[in-house]
Amino acid sequence: MKGINIYHVDAFTDKPFGGNSAGVVPNAEFISCVHMQSIAKELNLSETAFLMPPQSTAADFRIRYFTPSSEIDFCGHATVATAWLMGTIGEWATKKNMITFETNIGHVPVKFEIKENSLRSVIMTQIEPKVKKIDTALVELANYVGLKKDDIETDYPIRLGFTGNWHLLIPVKTRKAIDEAIPQIDKLKKHNKSHNICTTHLFTFDSQEEDCLLYTRDFAPAVGIPEDPVTGAANGALAGYLILEGILSAAEAHTFNIAQGHKVGRPGKVEIIISFIDHKPIIKVGGSAVPTIAGTLLVEEEK
């Protein structure tokens, strides 16, 4: 048997057992794709990140993400968890001010925010945001996610948003409606797979959290996750949507927080920073994290 170092890290929280837990395997250079998938299934977290040497000299590590059922191109909370782990236990935050990951969708730089000589947060710059329309009827979508048609906030459009994966973004009038939503997981899974949608993201400006602009929930049955507690990729796509659809002004920068995870007992906070270069939005997503488990996974030697 061979021992592989593994960690559980709770992302988008400063308290253990909050936010969204990711698996992190720091030394995965000799692990096959088959074993990565098996390890992700064994850990049974929404995503597990595997680190290995990069193919590009512009990156510090190559990172791959697996759900219990499949590999995905990008995962926000696992990126935050991995950067936090490398910044603290790996001591990268004492050596340089950022770490750059090579992913399936390009390079993702993550900046270390230091305050009073300790790591306060890690802030990743996501790839350029995109939005596109979806032709599924409003009544159908409401049915899939367990909402009434009248729960949908029609002042804002339903769109697909992207900063690495495609997310179905559905505006909802109230937090109460979001919390009471009971999605039809099988129907939602079938729909999202047919449209290459990674997750369905419900959002509202009725956050009811003092320091948060929005409140969200995220369902990802298409990639084997009924509900993802706190999501960096989906909230990044949401931030891009808010700018590209003119809901937030493109004439100024924006900084705000998004609350998520409360319904499933894992409250978290996602920091959003939106700036512009040559009138193009730059989406930054971050937060703090807490390692909760460090151990050794015993597996058979690969042949």
- Which DSSP string corresponds to 230-250? S-HHHHHHHHHHHHHTTSS-T
Q: Is 37 exposed, middle or buried (0-12, 13-18, 19+ CB in 10 A)?
A: middle
In tens, the pLDDT along 67-91 reads: 999 999 999 999 999 999 999 999 9
pLDDT value at position 254? 98
Helix %, strand %, coil % of the chain (to 5): 25, 40, 35
Q: How many whole angstroms separate alpha carbon 169 and alpha carbon 127?
A: 18
The class (CATH top level) of 130-283 is: alpha beta
Active site residue 47: yes
What residue type is assigned to position 25 of the chain?
Answer: V
Please pick, among 29, 42, 47, 209, the residue that the annotation labels catalytic.
47
Low-confidence ranges of the chain (pLDDT < 70): 303
pLDDT at residue 298, as a whole number: 93
Residue in the structure block whose two tokens are 């390009």: 106
Nearest C-alpha neighbor of 221 from the set 132, 169, 144, 142: 144
Instruction: Count the alpha carbons within 13 Å of 56 in the hemisphere toward its beta carbon.
Output: 12
The pLDDT of residue 302 is 76
Which pLDDT value is given to residue 300? 82
| 8 A C-beta contact, residue 88 and residue 248 | no
Predicted confidence at residue 5, as pLDDT, reads 96
Considering only the top CATH level, what class is 2-127+288-299? alpha beta
The token pair at 288 is 């703090």
Cβ atoms of 231 and 217 within 8 Å: the answer is no
Domain extents in the chain: 2-127+288-299, 130-283
Q: What is the spatial distance between Cα 190 and Cα 187, in angstroms, rounded to a whole number?
A: 5
Same fold for the pair 2-127+288-299 and 130-283: yes
How far is Cα 60 from Cα 92, in angstroms, rounded to an integer? 11
